[in-house]
A = this chain, B = another copy of it.
Amino acid sequence: MALTDDAIAKIRSMIQSGELPPGARLPPEPQLAAQMGLSRSGVREAVKVLESARVLDVRRGDGTYVTSLAPRLLLQGLGVAVELLRDDTLLEVMEVRRMLEPMATGLAALRMTDADLDELGQILEDMRAAADDAEKLIQFDTAFHHTVIATTGNETLTSLLDGLSGRTLRARVWRGLIEGNSAHQTIEEHHTIYLALRARDQLLAQASALLHVNTSEAWLRTVLAAKSADG
């Protein structure tokens, strides 16, 4: 299984070395195949792998290009990986979020602008208005935390936490919250975080975020326990 994997490694090292900078165009597949000493089929598999990793951008009828290599692209794969984790490891993910998200939220308290706060207040309002719609709650919850973290200006951090808070994971937590009649309380936790951020209080923001993650973790445990009891 060497040829195709070698091709992947070669292309990757060409990018890493700067020989193929962001935006660069790769030779056409047949030429690339000749250059690397394998058939076009093998090249296609290699390119497909790098495309799925958001390293290459394949434009049909045009050519294959190196992406911007921005963190938001390269770290996107983390999300799909987390979606595939088994149930018992989701608690590990929560423990990571418990460590990272409060720190990030605290940092956001220092860097947030008034405009950011206004946007956040709007999301909070939307969330309250959607208290009966699980789908919308998940959507606004995602937007709330993403907006907070994004204000740190750290795209790597944002992508990482986005990936760790996958849609399936959030959906499970909210299912538990709603069935446990605790949606309202959790919405208020967002309000608490919002107040801390508006006060630019780093420690308070950090603490309220920790409480919030802890609540999510508790409900995840409930949901997982119920599932393992059923199945």
Which chain B residue lies CB-closest to A99?
A: B103
Given contacts A48-B48, A84-B69, contact A155 B89 (CB under 8 A): yes
**8 Å CB contacts to B: which residues of A123-160?**
154-157, 160
**Given A41-B41, A85-B69: A52 and B92 within 8 A (CB)?**
no
Is A201 engaged at the interface, CB distance under 8 Å to the other chain? no
Q: Which of A26-34, A70-78, A112-120 contacts B (4 or more CB under 8 A)?
A: A70-78
Q: Is the CB of A156 within 8 A of B99?
A: no
Residue of B nearest to A106 (CB): B99
How many monomers of this chain does the complex have? 2
- State the majority secondary structure of interface residues on A: helix
Cross-interface CB contact of A156 among B83, B89, B157, cutoff 8 Å:
B89
Contact between chains at A60 and B1 (CB < 8 Å)? yes
Residues of chain A in range 67-119 having any CB-CB distance to chain B below 8 Å: 69-71, 74-75, 77-78, 80-86, 89, 92-93, 95-96, 99-100, 103-104, 107
Residue of B nearest to A51 (CB): B49
Complex A-B, nearest 7 residue pairs according to Cβ-Cβ distance, in ascending order: A92-B156, A99-B103, A74-B81, A45-B48, A49-B52, A92-B154, A96-B157
> B-contacting residues of A (Cβ < 8 Å)?
1, 4, 8, 12, 15-16, 22, 41, 44-45, 48-49, 52-53, 55, 58, 60, 69-71, 74-75, 77-78, 80-86, 89, 92-93, 95-96, 99-100, 103-104, 107, 154-157, 160, 168
